[in-house]
Amino acid sequence: TQLLEQSPQFLSIQEGENLTVYCNSSSVFSSLQWYRQEPGEGPVLLVTVVTGGEVKKLKRLTFQFGDARKDSSLHITAAQPGDTGLYLCAGWVTGGGNKLTFGTGTQLKVEL
Amino acid sequence: KAGVTQTPRYLIKTRGQQVTLSCSPISGHRSVSWYQQTPGQGLQFLFEYFSETQRNKGNFPGRFSGRQFSNSRSEMNVSTLELGDSALYLCASSLARTGSYEQYFGPGTRLTVT
C-alpha cells in the first residue's frame, strides 16, 4: 500500500504554462518534503513543510501543506525547460522514526 | 562541504552473485539511510543506520543487509542476487535520526542483474 499518492503521474506542458502537482495520503505526517530528481542522479531537496496550512515559496515554486498534515501541493508558475524532472513528495509518518516515505512521483516535461 | 558519495556508480552482476555498495555521508552526518528505486515500485526505504546501529528497517528480505562504520561510512550488501534487484540504490545522510532533519542524497549506484 502506497502511503503517498501523487497526481498526475505524468505531465507534459509548454514553457510558460502553470501547473500543480498533488500529494495525498490518509496518514498524518509530522513533516513533508518535496524533491526533484534528474535522470541518473539522487533526489535533491526543494523544501520542507512542517506546520499544517504552511505555504512556502521558492522563486516560481509554491508549496502548501494541508491543514490536517495529510496532503501537500506544489505549484509552478511559468514553467521553464529547466523545471523538467521527477518530482517526489516524501514524509515522515508521526512516530515512524527516520523512515522517509516517498510518493509515487510526478514526471514533468517542459518543452520549448 | 562535499556531498554524499556512493561507489561504484554502475555495477553489473549475474543472478546468484552478491554485491556490496558503499556510501560516504556528508562530514558530520551520523545517520545514513538506504533506498531502492525502481520504475515499478518507486523509492522504497531499505534501512537506516545511526552510530553503527541499525535503527529502522523497511520491508525487504534478509538478503539485503548493511552496516555502518565508526566514521559513519556505510555499506549495504545484497546476497544471492535476483533479476528483480536491478535498481538504483540511493544513500542519504542526515545530521541526526529524527524526522525533522533533512536528508541529503547521493547520486546512487545503478545495479543491473543479468
Residue pLDDT tens, chain A, 112 long: 557 999 999 999 999 999 999 999 988 888 899 999 998 889 999 999 989 999 999 999 999 999 999 999 999 999 999 999 999 999 877 665 667 889 999 999 999 9
Minimal C-alpha gap between A99 and chain B (Å):
7
**A15 CA: distance to closest CA in chain B (Å):** 26
A22-31, B4-13, B97-106: which range is least confident on average?
Answer: B97-106
The answer to whether the beta carbons of residues B109 and B89 sit under 8 Å apart is yes
Look at residue A98 in the predicted model and tell me its pLDDT. Answer: 62
**What average pLDDT does chain B have?**
93
Residue B98 has pLDDT above 70, yes or no: no
Residues in chain A with CB shorter than 8 Å from the CB of B35 are: 100, 102
Measured between CA atoms, how close is B23 to chain A, in angstroms? 13
- What is the model's pLDDT at position A100? 83
Least CB–CB distance from B56: residue in A2, A42, A97:
A97
Residues of chain B in contact with residue A41, where contact means CB-CB under 8 angstroms, are 107-108
Give the contacts of B76 (CB within 8 A, at least 6 positions apart): B20, B21, B23, B34, B46, B47, B64, B65, B66, B89, B91
Each residue's pLDDT tens digit, B61-82: 999 999 999 999 999 999 999 9
Measured between beta carbons, the chain A residues lying within 8 angstroms of B104 are 45
Q: Where are the beta strands (DSSP E) in B3-86?
A: 5-7, 10-13, 19-24, 31-38, 42-50, 53-57, 64-68, 74-78
User: Residue B104 above 60 pLDDT?
Assistant: yes
Strand-strand pairing, B42-50 and B104-105: unpaired
Q: Select from A108, A52, A100, A42 the least CA-distant residue to A81.
A: A108
> With 60 as the cut, is the pLDDT of residue B99 above it?
no
Cross-chain residue pair B108–A101, CB shorter than 8 Å = no
Sorting pLDDT into bands at 50, 70 and 90, what band is B1? Answer: low
Task: With CB atoms and an 8 Å threshold, state whether B107 touches A42.
Answer: yes
Residue-level pLDDT at A92: 79
| A107 in contact with B, Cβ within 8 Å | no
* C-alpha–C-alpha distance, residues B81 and B110, integer Å: 14
pLDDT of residue B40: 86
Look at A101 and B55 and tell me if their CB atoms are within 8 Å.
no
